Amino acid sequence: MTNQKRKNHTQRWREDFRKEYQEQNPDVKSMRDIGKACGEKWKTMTYEEIVQYYDIATEKRAEFEKAMAEYIKRKDNGEDQQSGEDSDYDE
């Protein structure tokens, strides 16, 4: 389980925004310009728009914590035999 799988609400929103922004503006390649547009959009978002991403992040965090608890339990019981494989946890 990598750190990338534990994203907060702003990170999840930023990822979605970048994807959409780059699709709509394929000529803009500068991360600085994309970041600036991202910041401008974030400032104008309503509470309801932000809460959607907060709810998603909270749900994903609960899934991660459950998967981690199961992993630790298996590891403590000697049941974890995955060697170098990724977990089944999905974003």
Distance, in Å, from the CA atom of 70 to the CA atom of 65, rounded to the nearest integer, reads: 9
Contact 64, 89 (CB under 8 A): yes
Global pTM reads 0.60
Question: By the 8 A CB rule, do 60 and 29 touch?
Answer: no
What is the fold, at CATH topology level, of the domain defined by 3-75?
DNA Binding (I), subunit A (1.10.30)
Query: What's the token pair of residue 34?
Result: 């994309």
* Whole-number pLDDT of residue 82: 57
Per-residue pLDDT reduced to its tens digit, 6-61:
788 888 888 999 999 999 999 988 989 999 999 999 999 999 988 998 888 888 88
What is the C-alpha separation between 7 and 67, in angstroms, rounded? 15
Helix (H, G, I), strand (E, B) or coil at 83: coil
In whole angstroms, what is the distance from residue 56 CA to residue 75 CA? 28
pLDDT surpassing 90 at residue 89: no
